[in-house]
Each structure stands twice: as C-alpha cells, then as structure tokens.
Structure 1
Amino acid sequence: MTSFFSPKQWLFIGLLLWLAAQHAAGQQPAAQRDTSFTVYSAFVKAKKNYPDISIARPAAPASIQSKMNLTYCTLGARSLQLDIFYPKAKRKKGYPAVLFIYGGGWRSGERSQHVPMAQQLAAKGYVTVTADYRLSTEALYPAAVHDLKAAIRWLRANARQYPIDTTRIAVWGFSAGGQLASLIGTTNGDAQFEGDACNKSHSSSVQAIVDVDGTLAFIHPESGEGNDSKGPSAATYWFGVSKTEKPDLWHQAGALNHVTAKTPPIVFINSAVDRMHAGREDMIKKLDTYHIYHETHTFPNSPHPFPLFNPWFEPTLSYTAAFLDKVFKVK
C-alpha cells in the first residue's frame, strides 16, 4: 500500500503522538538542558543584520548588594533557584520588588540572561530577582507558571530579610518570559495556576506587568506560535500537544483571555518583529474597557532579543523604571 507521508512526516507524526501520550498520562519529558538560546548565540545571529550592536554588560552598581543561588522552592530532588539584588541603603517600608523571567522558547535560556538589567534596576530603588523555572525539556505547561508564582510567594515570605514592600511587586519578562509575565499578572488569585508547592500561605499576586516582546495569545491571527509545518514548534513542545489537538489549552495560556477589571497596569516594550506581540492591540482594547493603565513602547528596526544588547538596553531599562515609578508612585 502506498504511503501518503514521507519518512520525515511519519517521524513528526510519531513525535506528536508521543507528546500527546505524555500529556495524557501526566508524564514529563526527560530533563535534558537545551542550550540553543544564549545571550551570545542571539548576539551572533542578530549581528549579521545589526553590525553595530554589542552585548550589554554594564558594571554592577556599587550601591547594591546581591545574594546568588538561593533556593526558592524544592520539588522532590529539584531545587529551583534565584539570584536577588537590592539597594544597600535601608528603607523602613522596604522597596518594590521585580521578578525577571528569561526567554528561550519555554525550552532554552537561563536566569543569568537578565542579571545586568536586574542589577541596574536595583540601583534605582528596587529589589530584583532572576529566577529559574522548569522548561519544556523538564516539565510541560503549566509547570513554569506554577514555579514562577512560587517565586513571587518566596519574595513575600522573605520580605523582612530582603527589604521588600509586599504591596508593590511586579513581574518582568522577555519573549517566552514576557508571555509568562503577562499570564502570571492576569491570573492573580486564580487557583488553577498556583501549583501546590512552596510558601502556600503567601499570595502570588503582582501589581504591575512588564511584557517585553512576549506573545499575548497563542491562537490569534497575528500569532506565529504553533506552526509545526517544519517540525514541532517550541510552543508545541511546551504544551505537549499541537494547537489543533487541544486548542482550549493553548487559549488558556494567553493573557489576552484573562483580562478583567482586576488586571494590573502593564507596559508593552516591543521590537520591530510584529508577531512577537501577537494580541497586543486586542488586549489594549480590553484594558481600555476596564480603564486599566497601560503603555506601549516600540523600537523601530530592532531584533527580537533587543533588551540584551546595546543600543536598546538603556532605553528598555528607562522605560521599565519610568513605568514602575509611575504605577508604584516611587519618589
């Protein structure tokens, strides 16, 4: 009998069936680190079209202190860690806090990616954290959401040691991290996204969102996520099933579908790559309906990983600080 599929297509179909079986059985992929996205690899790729860029590596400000490799949640044998940066100067009421979430297609990347940004923002009067979360090679959606909400709860549980104002916590994310930041911020108090581990007596709610080139909707006319024509996409790996097999799951992960009157203020900081902010204009319409404060800043002629590089690092930092200063009323 003649096959309608090529060997490559059969391999892809087999992989999708395997992912679906894993998801249905509640199993997780093997934890093998994917190192395909790093600051350097992104730099090499971007430099071909932007020859004047450089990796942003400003010196750590003398006004801050840091603690590295702190465990914020333990899941069996797995220790999730974070790095924290905060001003040396004491403040009775504490400082607003910001959780930084790295990108890499929910499959690659690491928390050191945004240490320079976190350090510079800490010098402006914030407690900043860069945190691990489980990637798709280790755990399927929504494990990453559970992890990062646990990191926010850790901030509140440790607010006295690291002078944090628990009434002013923001989440900042780039790319896949931006998607996670926007989802976390629009699901404040939603039990299905909390997970069941670590500091459960504390809230994971945030009071501001900084979405840096993170998609707001996976199934949307503007979205490029889930295109499996050349093999499983990063999002398909993360969800464990294709968007045609379980569209409800893909819709669930889009912040656009969770906007309510309780959604916190948000700033969109975007590259010139339109598909990286899919759903933004529709989300803005919803935000306006509820009179929720928002800002949009777009860098023309910029690559997707722009916040990692000069000349975009400093203005990204400035947009972030100005937005947070405004919504948190920092003086």
Structure 2
Amino acid sequence: MTRRTGLLAAAGALLAGCSGTQALNALVARDTYTSRGGIAYGTHPRQKLDVYKPLASAHSTATPPVVLFFYGGSWTRGERADYRFVGESLASQGVITVVADYRLSPEVRWREIAQDSALAARWVFDNLNDMNGDPKRVFVMGHSAGGWNAAMLALDARWLNAQGLSPRRFAGWIGLAGAYDFLPIENPEAQVAFNWPDTPPDSQPLRHVSKDSPPALLIAPDSDKLVNPERNTEGMARALRAQGVPVTVHRHSAINHVTLAGSLAGPLRWLAPVRREVLDFIAAPAAAGAAR
C-alpha cells in the first residue's frame, strides 16, 4: 500500500464512520516524540495511561504545557493505543500529551467514569515534576463522550475535590464535539452508562457552569448526527459566556463527528485546522492565566 493509498483508505474509513485509527496511526510519524506507555494511575486494568513528550529540540520550552486527553466511544469502547495520532500531533508541537483509558459501561456507570477521569488527572498533577510539565499550563481535553469526561472535570468540582484537587488547577479545557447536555438520552449505549431513565440532571456538564469555570475551547462540525452542536457546543458556549468565562468556539463544515478527531493527524489535517486551533488556545494568555 502506498502512502497515498493508505491516506485515502484512512480518510474513507473515518468518513464512513469507522474508527480508522489503526490506519491513521500507521501513517503518522514515530520520531517526533518520546513516549512511556501502560502507566498505572489506579489498580484496575483499565486505569492506565500513555505519556507522549516533545523532543528536546523540537518546538519545546523549558517547561512544556500538558494536555490530558480522553477519547470517545459512547462510554462503552475505546483504547488509548488507538489515539497515538493525538499524542503525536500535540507532542510534536511541544505539548506533553497524556492519553488515558478509563473503565467502561456496562461494567461501570457514569459516576465511576468521572471518578476514573479525576484519578487520571490526579496522576498528571502528581507527576508534573517528573514529566517536566508546566503546573500553570495543564489542560484537559476530550472528544465526543470523552468531551463529557473533560467537561465534568473542568466544571463539576466534586470529582477533583475527592482527589484533593480543584478545577481551578486547569488552565483551560478543550471539547471536540463534546456531549454536555443530552437529556433525554436516545443512544442505547449511553442509556446504560447513565442509568436512563433514572439519570440525574447533575450528570450533565452544562448544569455545573459557574463564574469560576476555566476558559474553554469548543470545536464542532456544522453538521453532527451524533452530538447536536447547537445544543451541546453552542449551548455550553452561551452558558459559559453568561458567567463571564472566556470561551472560543470554532465550527467547521468539511468535517463530521469522527473526522473532527481524525483531523488532528497529519494525513487528515487538510480537512480542518483543528490542531492549529488547539495549539493557539493552549498558547493564549487568557487560558494560560486561568490556572490558580
């Protein structure tokens, strides 16, 4: 398979709604970062993470920013190894990137998923010195269902408080087509994860927006059949602005729910400038100055 053929196959798989992550990972560079894999942040086999670090000579500062990334999959599927393209995309540009697994439904429900997310964040903050990461520039980021994980850490203090932390430790949070306001639940897999119809309103990130929420970057496709961008992305942006919280919104017409994440990878970066928008937000003074 030529690189061009592989590129077209990866794009086709993603555009068809398949994961396409193995194809993407096969096409992205392996010499633009260093990594450590399979690091335990808890005792469960799913409580592991991978760390991607910038090369000392490439786009790096003395103390690089850090991004904790959560993938999507309706809270029922996903593997951190499938998202090496995310780690490479950001680490190659000077950002320490941590990709975390978490327990999934039906083994657990949404509260345990939020607890795992907070436990992974605790590992990040506890290991900033070892990673040489900047404690004032730690961000949490997620795509789709993982956007819910990221938003719950950034907005709902109870999860980080249980780990002796606060959402105020984040310099900002990044949601890629995130699920922030989705009651009533129509997705059968999400119904299990959230005990529908006995789903409490406080399971929705939108309910936890306050004036103390960290700055946000919200990116979504114009057309998304899985997570409604008007209700979720735009609704979250309105709620944050109403509280005086800085928020940046980008909408794109050439990507869909799946290719939004795929466009972070080099082979599909031509679809939309998502990586550039993420890097600009990480470098923005409004976001960097929010960590307290």
Work out whether the TM-score is over 0.5. Answer: yes
Amino acid across the alignment from 1:59 = A
Partner of 1:29: none
The Cα of 1:321 is off from its aligned counterpart by: 0.6
1:257 to 2:207 alignment: yes
Counterpart of 2:128 (choices 150, 156, 159) is 159
The Cα of 1:290 is off from its aligned counterpart by: 2.4
Q: How does 1:182-261 map to 2 (within 5 A)?
A: 182-187=151-156, 190-191=157-158, 193-194=159-160, 200-201=163-164, 205-219=169-183, 226-227=185-186, 233-242=188-197, 246-247=198-199, 249=200, 251-261=201-211
The Cα of 1:203 is off from its aligned counterpart by: 5.2
What CA distance in whole angstroms lies between the structure 2 residues aligned with 1:41 and 1:106? Answer: 23
Partner of 1:293: 246
What is the SS of the residue equivalent to 1:280?
helix
The Cα of 1:66 is off from its aligned counterpart by: 0.8
Conserved in 2, the CA contact under 8 Å of 1:171 and 1:181? yes
Partner of 2:279: 321
What CA distance in whole angstroms lies between the structure 1 residues aligned with 2:164 and 2:208? Answer: 24
What is the SS of the residue equivalent to 1:95?
coil
Counterpart of 2:111 (choices 129, 137, 142) is 142
What is the SS of the residue equivalent to 2:105?
coil
Conserved in 1, the CA contact under 8 Å of 2:216 and 2:246? yes
Describe the superposition over 1:34-54 as per-residue Cα deviations: whole angstroms up to 9, x where unpaired.
xxxxxx9995372489xxxx8
Cα 1:300–1:92, aligned 2, differ >3 Å: closer, same or farther?
A: closer
Partner of 1:308: 262
1:59 to 2:29 alignment: yes
What is the SS of the residue equivalent to 2:178?
coil
Cα 1:92–1:60, aligned 2, differ >3 Å: closer, same or farther?
A: closer
What CA distance in whole angstroms lies between the structure 1 residues aligned with 2:196 and 2:272? Answer: 39
- More moved, 256-265 vs 104-113: 104-113
TM-score (norm 1): 0.71
Cα 1:167–1:317, aligned 2, differ >3 Å: closer, same or farther?
A: same
What CA distance in whole angstroms lies between the structure 2 residues aligned with 1:66 and 1:160? Answer: 16
- More moved, 91-100 vs 152-161: 91-100
What is the SS of the residue equivalent to 2:135?
strand
What is the SS of the residue equivalent to 1:273?
coil
What CA distance in whole angstroms lies between the structure 2 residues aligned with 1:258 and 1:44? Answer: 36
Partner of 2:49: 82
How large is the Cα RMSD of the aligned pairs? 2.9
What CA distance in whole angstroms lies between the structure 2 residues aligned with 1:146 and 1:108? Answer: 17
The Cα of 1:101 is off from its aligned counterpart by: 0.5
1:273 to 2:224 alignment: yes
Which ranges of structure 1 fall in alignment gaps of 5 or more residues? 1-39, 220-224
The Cα of 1:79 is off from its aligned counterpart by: 5.4
Conserved in 2, the CA contact under 8 Å of 1:133 and 1:148? yes
Partner of 1:174: 143
What CA distance in whole angstroms lies between the structure 1 residues aligned with 2:108 and 2:10? Answer: 24
TM-score (norm 2): 0.80
The Cα of 1:107 is off from its aligned counterpart by: 0.5
The Cα of 1:82 is off from its aligned counterpart by: 0.5
What CA distance in whole angstroms lies between the structure 2 residues aligned with 1:48 and 1:260? Answer: 35
Describe the superposition over 1:191-230 as per-residue Cα deviations: whole angstroms up to 9, x where unpaired.
3x2486xxx45556422111001121022xxxxx6226xx
What is the SS of the residue equivalent to 2:248?
strand
Conserved in 1, the CA contact under 8 Å of 2:177 and 2:233? no
Percent identity over the alignment?
A: 25
Cα 1:158–1:273, aligned 2, differ >3 Å: closer, same or farther?
A: same
Please say which structure displays the higher CA radius of gyration: 1
Which ranges of structure 2 fall in alignment gaps of 5 or more residues? 1-8
What CA distance in whole angstroms lies between the structure 2 residues aligned with 1:72 and 1:88? Answer: 24
The Cα of 1:301 is off from its aligned counterpart by: 4.0
Cα 1:276–1:42, aligned 2, differ >3 Å: closer, same or farther?
A: farther
Cα 1:180–1:41, aligned 2, differ >3 Å: closer, same or farther?
A: farther
Number of positions where the alignment pairs a residue of Structure 1 with one of Structure 2: 263
